[in-house]
Amino acid sequence: MIKRLKRVLFPVVLFTSSVVALAASHPRSIRHHGTVIVKTVAHKSAAVVRSEEMMKVYDSLQLNATGLSEGAFFSALTGLQQLVAEGKLQNDSIISIVDFSLPSTEKRLFVIDLNNKKLLFNTLVSHGRNSGLNNATSFSNRPNSFKSSLGFYITGQTYTGKHGLSLRLIGEERGINDNAERRGIVMHSADYVNDEWARGTGRIGRSEGCPAIPEEISDEVISAISNGSCLFLYSPDKFYLAHSRYISKA
């Protein structure tokens, strides 16, 4: 009987010791240390489950084979969840990701149907002419910078302009892309975004900051993602990753 009690009490003593250690390192939490522990464990469990679910989608769509980086995909879904929680999306089943860790000669726009776990479009997309040559490495929110702006956008309404059917974009990150409308940043077609241009120059053409896409597919893409879905422009940019309110604290 004594041996059995020892086996039961030993883990309890360890748990109690952990509580004391937590209280010592977090004095303000002494009165509620039990709650703190439960919340911390629950939070980690939720994060693990979330990561596992994200990985399942990433693997099932074979996104690694398409070139979409795990960093871009996981960051996109993390921000998407925040936008959903804030009630900002009219369509949360579609997410569009531009992965600027890839060169312009690769298909770096990915439009994903999360409900049906289907990659709808994977195509070329331009970056701003002052963001770099073949690779986008410099980003800005300033008007007349002619650079791309990273971060999360909500797609707006379509309109017909000089580039044909175009899509308004609403930047959701203050100081990072919230000047998008003021700068006239939209998604539109461009005759300089195609494989022929890439073969001839070693890169596709560049825009004034807009994510421009191939003419032959632009209407389909724009129609699919318009009116309240999430568009995410990603780069492993240290400033962005540290300052984005959608992913820096995830």
pLDDT confidence of residue 52: 86
Write down the pLDDT at residue 42: 47
pLDDT of the residue at 36 = 36
Signed CA dihedral, 121, 122, 126, 132: sign only: positive
Model pLDDT, residue 53: 86
pLDDT confidence of residue 64: 95
Distance, CA of 115 to CA of 141 (rounded, Å): 32
pTM: predicted TM-score of the whole model, two decimal places? 0.81
Mean pLDDT by 10 residues, the chain (250 residues): 38 33 36 37 56 89 96 96 96 98 98 96 99 98 98 98 98 98 98 97 98 98 98 98 86
Instruction: State residue 46's pLDDT score.
Output: 59
Whole-angstrom CA distances from 74 to 116, 158, 159, 187, 239 are: 18, 28, 31, 23, 18
**How far separated are the first and last CA of the chain, in Å rounded?**
48
Q: In whole angstroms, what is the distance from residue 24 CA to residue 8 CA?
A: 25
The residues near 156 (Cβ < 8 Å, ≥ 6 apart) are 167, 168, 169, 170, 226, 227, 228
CA distance linking residue 73 with residue 150, whole number of Å: 14
Residues 122, 109: contact at Cβ < 8 Å? yes
Tokens of 33: 């240390």
CATH number listed for the domain at residues 69-243: 2.40.440.10
